[in-house]
Every structure is written in C-alpha cells, then in structure tokens.
Structure 1
Amino acid sequence: MLSSEISAAHSQEGLFLALRRVTHEFSLQHITLLSLNNPDEKLLSRMIVQSSIPEPYFAEFDRKRLLEKCALADIIIQSKLPFCWSIGDPLQSRPFPVDSAIEDLQRRYGLITSVAMTLHSLEGERFIMRFDGARPRLTQVELNEIGMITLHSFDMFEKIRRNERKATPSPLTVRELEVVRWTAQGKTSVEIGQILTLSDHTVNAYMTNAIKKLDCVNRTQLVAKALRLRLIA
C-alpha cells in the first residue's frame, strides 16, 4: 500500500504527502530530506529540501549555530544502511554524544528517536532522508523495511526532479530570482533591500510573488524548491 502510494506520486508535494503517511505507519511524526551538497554550509535551514518539522525548530537551531556542534551527518554517511538513534536511550548506550543544546531542542519538539539514511543521486549529489518521532528505538525488522521504503522514495524523488528540470524556463522574474538568491544566502528583507536599493516592503512583495509562483508556503520551502529546480545556485 505504501509502496503504491509512493509510486503514484507525480510531484514533490505528492511524494512527501505519501512519506508523511509512512512516518505514521512507523509511529513517527516527521520526515525531512536534506541536501549535503555544500560542505561549508553553516545553517541547517539552507540544507532542507522538504521537512514537516515546524520552521521555528530550524530557526532556533540556526540562531544558536548548532550545526557546528552536530557531527551526525559524518556518522550517517559512513553507513549504507538506515542509522537509528534515540535521545531517550541511557547516556551509556547511545551510539554517539549529543550536544546538550541540541538534545534540549529536540526534546521540546518531540524528536526523540530518529532514523536517517544517506542517498546518492545519479549526478553524484548527496542527501539524507530522516524520520523523527517520540517513540522508542526501531527494531531491526522495522529498520530494514524503512530502508527499502527510503530507497524507493528517493528513486521517485529523482524521477520527479528530472521531469521538473525538463519543464519550462524559470517562472520567476529577474528581480524575484535576485531576492530568492539573497534569501538563500541568509539575508533578511531589510538587508536584501539595502543590497538591491529597494524597500523591505518591495522585497517582501517579490518574495510573496515567488512563493505563489512556485506553489510554496514559506521562504524556507521557496529556497529549497528554487535550489532543487536549479533556478538559483
């Protein structure tokens, strides 16, 4: 059933709706796809392709610069299989130490147990698909199953992404692209306005138009989709 729903997806949004149902089947709550293609990235929010975790989580994570204190990506990359860990485990049985600020943030958002897997695109790009929730650690049988689902989902993600790249040229104007590009660099509306000699009101208007055109719900999703469609670099 889950496999057929994933196979039937024709858009990124449809695929991630199917993946949300996958999380619930495993008594988890959130699904996140992260891009690892900028080794010098300092902000977690700029790595997001899609995530159901509330945006304030990423805002606080980045405000406290917690990515510098998290070696999780390096650990996951070393494994070709799904990697599971839980901050609900006793300290002595955890596979790696978790910074206290990261643990506090994850507890507040109910991200107690996590499963993550490294994925590689045909173009050599690296991604991590991650599932989070407030349940105990997954069993080996569950890990095997979620690993197969993850591989299947990423195959569909790649197929949909290739189709999107063959679509029509950028629907965004030059100004809208400039605003999105600077937003991807972590600039605020006021800062972008100073760079482009525009009012922050005008910058926000361009942003709103871009969000509507790319069928997104917020700036984080807009930047992620613009990067995925290679509208910005």
Structure 2
Amino acid sequence: MRKHVRAVRDGVEDTVFPHSDRVPKTPASMIGERLGEMARRTGHSYYLLAAFPRGDRAGFAVNCLATNWPQEIIDFYEDADLFYCCKLVNRLKRSVMPVFCDKAPFESTAANQENPGLVKLFRTHGLKNTFAFTLHDADLRQYIFAFSGDRAKASRDEAMAQVFLAMEFLEMFSQDYPVERPSESLSNREIECLRWSAAGKSSEEIAIILDLSSHTVVGYLKSAMRKLDSVNRMQAVARAFRYRLL
C-alpha cells in the first residue's frame, strides 16, 4: 500500500499523500487545518483534495492529495479503483459549476460495478452528501475539492464563498506541487512529430508534411517516446498533452 503522512489535529487525522512529483513543502497539519476550516464553514465533516483523474493517472491513490476520510474508507477505495469512473467525477467532467450529490457520489457510474458495501461504508461514517467543484491553478492543473457530511445543499452564497476560499487555498499552496515535466526536454521536431501523430497522421504522412524522410520521423517519435517514458505513440501523445507540450 502507498505510504502517506497523517497529522492529528483536534483529534481528527489528516492524510497527505506524498508522491515523487507531488511532495508538499507545507506541513500536513497546515494543509489539513486550512481544508478543515473550509469544510466546517459549510457544516461538513470531511474534505478531499485530489488532482483531476486523467489518462494514465486515473486511480484514487495517485490523485488524492489530502483528505481526512477515515482510514477504513481510504483503504477500501484504493482497492476498489473506482475514483476515475465514479458518479461525482463524471458530473464534474460535464459541468464547470459546483455540484451537490446525495446519492452515492463515489460509487461507479457503471451498473455492473455497483458496490452496496462501499455505499454503506461511506454512509456509516457520515459521508452522506457531498458538495464538490473543480478549480485549476496558475499552471492549469485541475483539482477536485469535495466536502462531505450530512448537511443539506448549500445556498448559492455559501457555495460562492466556498469556491473563493478554495481559490485562495490554491494560490497559497499549489506551489507545493511542482509542475510535472518529462525527465528530458523534447526538441521542436519531436514535438512537431507528436503533434501530427496526435492528429492521426502516419509516419509517412508526417514525413511529407515536414519534408523529412519517414526513417527520420520514426527516429524523432522513438526519441520522444523514450523521453516521455512511453511504450507506444498513443501513450507518448497522452503524456505530452498532460505535460502541456501539445
């Protein structure tokens, strides 16, 4: 199981997940205190801060940055691997507005993946209703803020205030999470070849467009794949998009 840092504050444990590319400089207790304050302002008991799941970073463990969820739920949800396809994330993909979910928001959208045990576990610990929204920081990294408890839907003014507090939080703490970059810089030609590959062009077609030999194009693409630690062109293109190279 992935290691994480837990800090006890007012009898409640906050969990911050350190990654090789997402190691927070700010103490876990400070991050948890700020997020805890935001949760309490709207009468919620729990908070979750996560990177928005995308491409080859879809799981809960790799995206969860900080939460005060009970450890039992964290362990269960890491194993269930439902975060990227849960109802809450699905709704946030289709709206720029905050959403309120009162019916198993962290359960999968697929009928064949419904898990009554998971729903019961969340409700047993008091995560009945969830208010959530997405924000991006100055580097355009997208985050999910989710606040859970048993309170009813927040008013418009409460929701607006909560979103603004989250913006202030990102302004203060997002610098703790460095921008993801490939291990080596890609050349302009490598990026050009990836861009045309993303457009569906074959090596031969890219060679004609860029006035190169197909052998040279293949060489550029292989070099780009190596630098992006990818096993094929599709994965290289996905990672190039994630690194905002395309």
The TM-score range, normalised by the shorter chain, is 0.5 to 0.7
Residue number in structure 1 paired with 2:139: 123
Residue identity matched to 2:141: E
Residue number in structure 2 paired with 1:111: 127
- The answer on 1:25 being equivalent to 2:46 is no
- TM-score, length-scaled by structure 2: 0.51
User: Residues of 2 paired with 1:158 and 1:18: CA distance?
Assistant: 13
Residue number in structure 1 paired with 2:163: 147
Three-state SS of the structure 2 residue aligned to 1:34 is strand
Q: Which has the larger radius of gyration?
A: 2
Structure 1 residues 104 and 39: alpha-carbon distance in aligned structure 2, compared to 1, 3 A threshold:
farther
Contact 1:84 1:116 in 2 (8 A): yes
Higher helix share: 1
Residue identity matched to 1:47: N
Three-state SS of the structure 2 residue aligned to 1:87 is coil
Structure 1 residues 115 and 12: alpha-carbon distance in aligned structure 2, compared to 1, 3 A threshold:
farther
Contact 1:33 1:130 in 2 (8 A): yes
Task: Give 1:161 shift.
Answer: 4.1
Structure 2 alignment gaps of length 5 or more: 1-24, 181-246
Structure 1 residues 122 and 30: alpha-carbon distance in aligned structure 2, compared to 1, 3 A threshold:
same
The structure whose RCO (Cα within 8 Å, separation 6+) is larger is: 1
Q: How many residues align?
A: 148
User: Residues of 2 paired with 1:49 and 1:64: CA distance?
Assistant: 18
Task: Give 1:131 shift.
Answer: 0.9
Q: Spell out, residue by residue over 1:88-125, the C-alpha distance to the aligned partner (whole angstroms, 9 max, x if none).
A: 9xxxxxxx999453432321221111111112233332
- TM-score, length-scaled by structure 1: 0.54
Residue number in structure 1 paired with 2:52: 36
Contact 2:60 2:84 in 1 (8 A): no
2:66 pairs with one of 36, 43, 50: 50
Task: Give 1:37 shift.
Answer: 5.2
Structure 1 residues 39 and 104: alpha-carbon distance in aligned structure 2, compared to 1, 3 A threshold:
farther
User: Residues of 2 paired with 1:60 and 1:143: CA distance?
Assistant: 29
